[in-house]
Amino acid sequence: MNRNYLIFGLLVALGIGAVSSMWWWKDLSESTLTAQLQEERATHARIATGLTTEKEALQTRVMELSATLTELTGDRDYLKDSLREEKQKVDDIEQRVGDALKTVGVLDKLSKTDAQLLQKYSKIYFLNEHYVPPKLTLIDPTYLYSETRKQSLHAQVMPFFEDMFEDALADGVKLYVTSAYRSFSEQQSLKGVYTTTFGKGANTFSADQGYSEHQLGTTFDITTTGINGNLVGFENTPAYTWLTKNAYKYGFTLSYPKNNTYYVFEPWHWRFVGKDLARKLHRDGNYFYDLDQRVINEYLISIFD
């Protein structure tokens, strides 16, 4: 009996001890866990603080970079404007240089172009006895009415002359030259003959020496078939009709039309003035002597273009 009580007591004591031990262990684990949690919280708090500090530093950096970008954008725009202004200056200089070179080219071209070629000579300007075109060339005999009598023309006019005569022939119109370049002395002799024959009446159709367009070497008298090589009656021929419609295309114009104030109507007398001026005269329905000399002079630069 006593033994049983002893065993029971021992078991109770062991049970109480075990329970006590369990509660002690439980208390110890909770304390450790709490400490760990607190430590983790502290760690996370430090991390959060560090991240907050880093975030603030980054925000500050972003603000600084934004300010720098704004400043650089302003500098960029300023530089773009400056670059545009400098480029405009360069373009202006290039334009002025180009204009200067063009002017030099024009002046150089004009200096090499005979200024006499577009002067209004008939009773206005005078060519002295020493004037001879810079270069004369013989007209091909096939273009002459009399192949035995040589005729000359200004060398630079010749290509325009030949084109016109060949195109007229292609259209079935035959053109022939009866007289082209005449020197001062030749004109003097011719006017003398006319004066002897017609007296003062010669002044209505023949220029004095020095006033004749023929001395320029850019002018010629034309005849055609059917009138025996004469000039009278030329206005009634297909050749004259063709010339009035086409001569301007080659740079030629009629010097003395009907009702002009210089000489009688000369439908056979054609003068080279360059394509530009001839086109203008044809388009406007004017004649060479209708224009002011200053207007005519503007076309000298392009007379052989």
Residues with a known catalytic role: 266
Cα(210)–Cα(130) distance, rounded to whole angstroms? 10
Q: Cα 270 to chain center, whole Å?
A: 34
283-287: Cβ within 8 A, 24+ apart = 287/253, 287/254, 287/255, 287/257, 287/260
Cα(115)–Cα(135) distance, rounded to whole angstroms? 14
Residue 166's alpha-carbon distances to 127, 140, 175, 209, 305, in angstroms, are 32, 12, 9, 32, 20
Cα(188)–Cα(202) distance, rounded to whole angstroms? 12
Residue 7 has which token pair?
A: 């065993």
Contacts of 141 (CB under 8 A, 6+ apart): 147
295-298: Cβ within 8 A, 24+ apart = 296/118, 296/120, 297/118
